[in-house]
Amino acid sequence: MILHRDFIKLSKEEKIKFNKYKDRYSIRTVNGQKMLPKPWTPNDEYPNYVYKHDSLFPNHNISSQDIEEDENWFLQRIDGFKDLIHHDSTSELDLLNYIRDNKAAFIVTSLLSYTDFGHHERFVFPEFQLSNNYKVDFLILGRSSGGYSFLFVELENPYGKITTVNGDFSTAINKGIKQVKDWKRWIPKNFSSFQQTLRKFKGPTNEDFPREFYELELDRFNFMVIAGRRDHYKPHTYQQNREILGNGERIRVLHYDNLIERTYEIIKTKHWQSSTFQIITHKTYFLNV
């Protein structure tokens, strides 16, 4: 559960309203014919818990409606995260603990703005256990018109050995890249195990997973390492970043200032698509940020 309540368990009154909306807006069969749902209008009251309960992973769903309901709650948590990051004694463990203790996993969903998926729907899983040997700091699932894609996130130190004097990746970034490469090797051999772990979090209203959860398509898997601050990154750092993106690794390195700035923007706009990239002929061209 990543927010303030359990969206799988509904009260009696909520169940009644949920069933009313399911009956009104779901495609259903009448006398052997499929009937389209009634169109939704802005005047209709569509409670957030109805949408959450009916989603693929109810307790891992982050939506714009969450922010609209209590924007200050989200701002307080990113404010606290930003304050913590300004202390040069802060480690990645401090940041992970802060996110867990303050139910602030929504912060890492801002990374979807550096991809071409997740603007329709998104789910985040903190400390996702791939196997006995591998635990992902955050697994993010994002849906676009092409279905679901997967983003694996490794948080590393915000301070310390981030880059060399010349801007080469140093200890923290290299450690993160090694970790995600281990995950990349694990996934093709253990895709069915990955799917079974996700099944533990599935909501009660969905009969099965979409196709992309059964058919392994490696181009749906993306990886990010978050390390250091903007001041650590030099022109050569960005060049190295472009190289590992361009060679098919599907690994992107970002700093914590990216994470913080994009989170504020999402809280303000209630939108996960960012102007920091543009899609041209199905390729993503990233700017140095």
Structure tokens at 182: 């281990």
Range scoring the smallest mean pLDDT among 23-32, 93-102, 128-137, 250-259:
23-32
Asked if residue 247 lies in contact with residue 239, where contact means CB atoms within 8 angstroms, the answer is no
Supply the DSSP string of 26-50, one letter for each residue: S-EEETTEEEPPPPP-TTS---HHH
- Convert 222-252 to b/e letters by CB count within 10 Å (16 or more is b): bbbbbbbbeebbeeebbebbeebbeeeebbb
Structure tokens at 141: 């699932």
Q: Which of 52, 42, 68, 43 is nearest to 18 (CA)?
A: 52
Q: Which residues lie across from 136 on neighbouring strands?
A: 128
CA distance to 162, 180, 242, per residue, from 174 (Å): 9, 10, 15
d(Cα 108, Cα 122) in Å, to the nearest integer?
11
Supply the DSSP string of 84-132, one letter for each residue: HHTSTT--HHHHHHHHHHTT-GGGGGGGGGGSS--SSEEEEEEEEE-SS
Of the CA atoms within 13 Å of residue 266, those in its CB half-sphere come to 29
Q: Give Rg (Cα) of the chain.
A: 20
Q: Is the pLDDT of residue 15 over 60?
A: yes
Q: How confident is the model at residue 86 (pLDDT cuts 50, 70, 90)?
A: very high
The residue behind tokens 């392994």 is 216
- pLDDT, position 246: 78
Q: How confident is the model at residue 75 (pLDDT cuts 50, 70, 90)?
A: very high
pLDDT tens per residue across span 211-244: 999 999 999 999 999 999 999 999 999 999 999 8
Higher pLDDT, 44 or 105: 105
Q: Is the pLDDT of residue 136 over 80?
A: yes
- pLDDT, position 149: 96
- pLDDT, position 208: 84
Of the CA atoms within 13 Å of residue 272, those in its CB half-sphere come to 27
d(Cα 225, Cα 169) in Å, to the nearest integer?
12
- Convert 271-289 to b/e letters by CB count within 10 Å (16 or more is b): ebbbeebeeeeeeeeeeeb
- pLDDT, position 89: 96
- pLDDT, position 17: 83
Q: Is the pLDDT of residue 253 over 70?
A: yes
- pLDDT, position 44: 55
Range scoring the smallest mean pLDDT among 10-24, 83-97, 198-212, 230-244:
10-24
d(Cα 198, Cα 200) in Å, to the nearest integer?
5
Q: Which amino acid, residue 217? A: E
Name 49's Cβ contacts closer than 8 Å, sequence gap at least 6. Answer: 5, 7, 10, 14, 18
Higher pLDDT, 90 or 37: 90
